Each structure stands twice: as C-alpha cells, then as structure tokens.
C-alpha cells in the first residue's frame, strides 16, 4: 500500500470511527516523513500517526478501535512469514523466560494449533 492510500484510509477511519475531520495533507506529510525520511515501516508509521491523532483530538483509543473492524487480520502462528510484522494472533503462552536485556519486558514462546513462535516484548 502507498503512503498516499494509507493516509486516505486514516482520514476515512477518523471520520467513520470518531466523526472527526482530519487534514489529509497533514496526515500525508507525517506519514511521508516517517516512511521516507526515517525509514519507518509503513504499518508502524500508520500506527504512530493514528496514535498521535488520537492524543491530539483527545479520543479514547479503546472506543476508537471498538467501532473499527478490530485492527489487523487475525492470523495463525504457522502463517507468520515475515519478521517485524504487526499482526493479531490468538495464542496461549507456552513458556516464559527471563530477558537478557533491560530493554525487554518479556521473552517466551506462544503457540496455537498451527505452530509455535518466540516473542519479545
């Protein structure tokens, strides 16, 4: 998806979910800066811009997303094919262990019926 189409979707999402008119050009500029200038992955840039706009317009995040389709498409662990990807999964925690860095809160394994994968948070 392009920065321009993602920006349009953000504007539409705010109109539909919160009844707030967002300046499309401002959204495109923020997205472009993050993606082009700082090399932030587009999905992460989108998340950053949306969260900033939620704060700016004092919109409750839970209420905003409750009127949405729920976010990312639900996938199974066995279908994960890219690192550093924002996805939604329903899993059970299989194992936890102590992180080896202070920058990590948790490290462990999660699993569903399709497989098991390591997570770091």
Among residues 66, 93, 111, which one ends one of the domains?
66
Q: 107 and 98 in contact (C-beta within 8 Å)? A: yes
Q: How many domains does the chain have?
A: 2
Helix extents (H) in the chain: 3-18, 24-32, 42-56, 61-66
Q: Is residue 72 part of a domain?
A: no
Name the β-bridge partners of 53.
none
Give the pLDDT of the chain (121 residues) as one tens digit per residue.
Answer: 789 999 999 999 999 889 999 999 999 999 999 999 999 999 999 999 999 999 999 999 888 877 555 556 788 999 988 887 778 889 999 999 999 998 989 999 999 999 999 988 8
Rounded to two decimals, the pTM is 0.57
Q: 76 and 114 in contact (C-beta within 8 Å)? A: yes
Q: Over the stretch 80-92, which tens digit does the pLDDT of each residue have?
A: 888 877 788 899 9
Check whether residue 57 and residue 87 sit in a common domain: no
């Amino acid at each position: 998806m392009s920065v321009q189409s993602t920006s349009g979707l953000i504007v539409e999402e705010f109109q539909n979910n919160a009844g707030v008119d967002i300046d499309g050009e401002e959204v495109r500029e923020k997205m472009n800066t993050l993606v082009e200038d700082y090399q932030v992955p587009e999905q992460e840039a989108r998340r950053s811009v949306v969260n900033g706009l939620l704060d700016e317009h004092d919109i409750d995040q839970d209420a905003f997303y409750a009127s949405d389709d729920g976010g990312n498409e639900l996938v199974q662990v066995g279908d994960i094919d890219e690192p550093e990807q924002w996805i939604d999964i329903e899993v059970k925690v299989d194992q936890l262990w102590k992180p080896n860095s202070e920058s990590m809160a948790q490290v462990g394994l999660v699993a569903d019926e399709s497989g098991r994968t390591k997570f770091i948070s």
